[in-house]
Structure 1
């Protein structure tokens, strides 16, 4: 008999759901999950007698198909698994904001408020006193688009050729900027740009200067660049706006990341506005944060594009909570104690039979490119990576040089036992390979 004839029928699978404990899934979704499990059996990926268990496990996961991941790669701001993990305070704030909140309501007056996002803006200004005002939009690219449109729409914007970067998913900075109806003026060379290059473009009628931190690569050797302070002088001499995109979201200098630009320094050196992402070094939700002079922020807030790139209430709440909390996971992982990481790795190796090796973590997300975060990992045979990825939650390590490296830097210490149990279970299943 064709073994596929043993695959349970859809009505049989649906009948297996206990009516008293039925999850909040509609019939369309339940039928789709049943069909998915059946199709896997038809393709031979699972046995027919495993279909029911697969279906019930998928139902138990709830309305979202996203798989939780335990990040054992050592990359703190890992774009592929959602960048910065939110802290408890931010998660709680998002839950509260999921209902009705005063995002555009003046409760004292009982009238609509014109200060959407005021709570998050106030938290930003408290965290970065160098800024006169703040604006939060959907993401970093949206912040740059809005700034370019506000200060150089139907005009020229100057940028060094060494800063024409490509950001994630193949989007290139020049294409993004030009979509704001801006004429991009490229100056200098890939490795060297001088003040005179900007001066010539300014004299030709450019309306704004954009300085971008090339956060996902480094240029070394025979190089030259113009700093924010010197660009401020050029901008003032020609009545131009100065936009600085720091990218990774550092608010103030951090000794652990000595070469990473920060918003406070850029503002002190004369930037009209500083732009960065909220879900990188800041440790918050996806957001495009703009800090700067009150007049410049007001101009951006009034531009028609500001409505199109507006951020939602959930992320405004999470951003405010991240800024007001005493700590967050991203900061903790970036500054993890090397000795403690080694002790945790040794404990994991003892429990699972792996080998402890030195392993440099990374900032990730385009932050501090090439800058190592000294630490430790446990090495296993490479075949273990796949079954760990297929668990729920998935355990994601780094496959490198023919082995699997499990780095606990980005794992809350309370979950070390969970990682050890997952590895031990998959090793037992894989015996005899």
Structure 2
């Protein structure tokens, strides 16, 4: 004779049938979709994310309740937990890699001023309209004026959609069907297999390589100049350095060759920076005789992704009038973010670059003490950060980090607030140089929230 269930017993012993599924009465208690959607929190989510996305989350939550994974009364909360923060698939991430301009994380973080400018520009704006006269005006004129003001040596400025596009426009407008003279030591490949020679040849220009990998002199360039020369190109080596027996020609040494000198500085530094004494900047290159400088806006400038062209007035205006310029132009949101970056307070990139090692260490020790008090295996350690994004190759920035067990790396990446660190010597390091101080509490909470998952993977 079988045993009878204990009176009033609940839980797994009685909540599931012999087949492992919840009993029918539990499944009948799963609320209807229209009932769930009347929850004020989900109604607000419909306004923010759209009805289809919210309904899909409700259906997932209902299925979890039918399978017994969550109680029926938890369906609304479960649906809310399944919803993203925004209608975009992109998720905000805390960059604790120690790489200030991490390409995989979108490079420069916009300042609060730039984010506000983007919000304000999201509706109709006067991007190409003079409100005083009511007639068409130069597109993005205030952003271009701000860029010109930051680089006084430039006669004019133009903006396209990224750094590579800036070089493509220059090569197409100035050297299609002609030669570009470039040093062999500057024929670089950067991330994701992107090769500079392939980009330049795609414009219809021919490459005239001079010098050797490690040594190229002004005489090498001069010997190659001829009637077919469109311009001389100087390229910042970006993510590598050549040391030892080397020689490279500077813009000032090439300015008298009788053809334009175009300098691709890459990293977007507009003026010299004391923390990066070896990094080329736009103003210095133009004062040295460069006819045109190209750069990226989302690197050391700390702004949105865009390509900057600065130089002689007649050259920049010729580029801006070229048919390709229309295909490469930026939208009003980029112009708004760029202008706010140029005229507003210091950017997150600038603040991260100048953060003092002592202040970083103090933050790390405070966070480590708070997390250790919660029983987490963590300690503050010295660290070394880098600029990234092709900027200042070989430059190490003293920093500080939280050191956690290796299992935290994946748990933090996949947590509700994703945190990306790096693995070093069998530990997960969360470098604080690229983490704004106002995000310290969010970082600590993210670590606490994934502790069970991290322990489960140990």
Distance 1:282 1:14, change over 3 A: farther
1:199 match: 222
Q: Is it true that 1:98 corresponds to 2:118 in the alignment?
A: no
Aligned to 1:151: 174
Partner of 1:352: 371
1:77 aligns with 2:107: no
TM-score with structure 1 setting the length: 0.91
Distance in 2 (alpha carbons) for counterparts of 1:277 and 1:116? 19
- Aligned partner of 2:407 among 383, 392, 402: 383
Q: How many residues align?
A: 423
1:310 to 329, 335, 344: 329
CA separation in 2, counterparts of 1:396 and 1:328?
Answer: 21
- CA shift for structure 1 position 167: 2.7
* Residue 5 (structure 1) shift: 11
2:36 corresponding residue in structure 1: 16
* Separation in structure 2 between the aligned mates of residue 338 and residue 327 of structure 1, nearest angstrom: 19
- Which residue in 1 is equivalent to 2:354? 335
Q: Provide the rounded CA distance (Å) in 2 between the counterparts of 1:123 and 1:380.
A: 44
**Who is 1:138 aligned against?**
161
Choose the corresponding residue for 1:256, options 258, 275, 287: 275
Question: Taking structure 1 as reference, are residues 371 and 108 closer, same or farther at Cα in structure 2, changes over 3 Å only?
Answer: same
Matched, 1:129 2:152: yes
Equivalent residue of 1:375, what SS?
A: strand
Tell me what 1:408 maps to. 432
* Corresponding position: 1:58 with 2:82: yes
Please, what is the CA RMSD of the aligned residues? 2.6
Q: Is the 8 A contact 1:382 1:399 kept in 2?
A: yes
Q: Distance in 2 between matches of 1:244 and 1:3?
A: 68
Bigger Cα displacement from structure 2, 25-34 vs 244-253: 25-34
Q: Which has the larger displacement, 387-396 or 4-13? A: 4-13
User: C-alpha separation between the residues in 2 aligned to 1:382 and 1:35?
Assistant: 36
Tell me if 1:184 matches 2:204: no
SS in 1 for 2:390: coil
Return the offset for 1:59. 2.6
The alignment partner of 2:232 has SS state of strand
| Aligned counterpart in structure 1 of residue 134 of structure 2, from 105, 110, 123 | 110
Aligned to 2:396: 372
- The question of whether the paired residues in 2 share the 8 Å contact of 1:379 and 1:406 is answered with yes
In structure 1, list runs of 5 or more residues that go unmatched.
Answer: none
Which of 197, 211, 216 is the matching residue for 2:239? 216
CA–CA distance in 2 between the matches of 1:351 and 1:204? Answer: 69
Residue 159 of structure 1: SS of its match in structure 2? strand
CA contact (8 A) 2:36 2:58 kept: no
Q: CA deviation at 1:30?
A: 4.0
Q: Is the 8 A contact 2:305 2:334 kept in 1?
A: yes
Query: Match of 1:422?
Result: 446
Q: Which one of 341, 345, 353 corresponds to residue 326 of structure 1?
A: 345
Which moved further from structure 2: 96-105 or 383-392?
383-392
Q: Which of the two has higher C-alpha Rg?
A: 2
- The whole-number CA distance in structure 2 between the counterparts of 1:211 and 1:8 is 70
Q: Which moved more, 1:92-101 or 1:203-212?
A: 203-212
Shift of 1:16: 2.5
Asked if the contact 2:302/2:350 (under 8 Å) is kept, the reply is: yes
Shift of residue 27, structure 1, vs aligned partner: 4.4
Aligned residues of 2:113 and 2:345 also touching (Cα < 8 A):
no
Distance (Å, rounded) in 2 between the aligned partners of 1:182 and 1:36: 55
> Which protein, 1 or 2, shows the higher relative CO under an 8 Å CA cutoff with sep ≥ 6?
1
Q: CA deviation at 1:13?
A: 5.7
CA separation of 1:55/1:352 partners in 2, compared to 1, >3 Å: closer, same or farther? same
Output one character per residue of 1:400-425: Cα deviation in whole Å (capped at 9) or x when no partner.
22110011112221221221222133
Taking the TM superposition and a 5 Å limit, the aligned residue runs for 1:202-281 are: 202-203=225-226, 205-234=228-257, 236=258, 240-281=259-300
Shift of 1:302: 1.2
Q: Contact (CA 8 Å) 1:382, 1:404: kept in 2 or not?
A: yes
